Chain A
Amino acid sequence: KQEVTQIPAALSVPEGENLVLNCSFTDSAIYNLQWFRQDPGKGLTSLLLIQSSQREQTSGRLNASLDKSSGRSTLYIAASQPGDSATYLCAVYNNNDMRFGAGTRLTVKP
């Protein structure tokens, strides 16, 4: 059974810092991995989707990497802004099933 872990559970940084969020999964036979952002009380907004054959994806200040063999993914946020404050969730897809981590709650202080 796939287990997805996100570390740290919470992170607080000053504005302008570069930061890395981590996601690990136990079953490396994944089809793809997706990073989401969730604002309080809201639904999930897709940030980046990495197929199993890919190593990374970039969108603006966000860069996500995938290392299937080690069961890890990282989400890199450059030059963080207060508007980046949210919970970031990673989800892995395999065997017709998507499993989520519990998320990292990010606070960017002005």
Chain B
Amino acid sequence: EAGVAQSPRYKIIEKRQSVAFWCNPISGHATLYWYQQILGQGPKLLIQFQNNGVVDDSQLPKDRFSAERLKGVDSTLKIQPAKLEDSAVYLCASSLNAGGAYGYTFGSGTRLTVV
């Protein structure tokens, strides 16, 4: 079974620029998550999709972050404009269902550096 695919692996941008990350979950996984992991901390949930609908985006800074999963398969996370504190690893995960009974599978992440 192919894993969760993410791109790019690394990105360096200047503050106030925009950036987009892409994620393709495991085939058949209805639930997709975006996490932000700041150095030295555990991942923090940004947004959760069930198919193409948003289940939880309570911790997403909506003034600058946006995400979509239009066809219920792959997803894009965008930051515009970026701030220095957005420097982090952005992790995408998927699970078979929203109940999490089968656990989560994570991608390799995108390391973002904002300078």
Contacts and interface: CB of A to CB of B under 8 A. Distances in A.
Interface of A: 4, 31-32, 34, 36, 41-46, 49, 51, 89, 91, 93, 96-103
Closest 4 CB pairs of A and B: A100-B42, A44-B106, A43-B108, A49-B103
Contact of A93 (B4, B41, B100, B107): B100
Nearest to A101: B42
A31 B100 contact: yes
B91 interface: yes
B45 A97 contact: yes
Q: Label chain A's interface by main secondary structure.
A: strand
Given A41-B111, A51-B101, A97-B56, A36 B41 contact: no
Contacts of A100: 42-44
Interface in B71-115: 89, 91, 93, 98-109, 111
A60 to B, nearest CB: 17
B61 interface: no
A91 B95 CA distance: 14
Given A42-B109, A43-B91, A34 B98 contact: no
Contact of B99 (A31, A36, A46, A102): A31
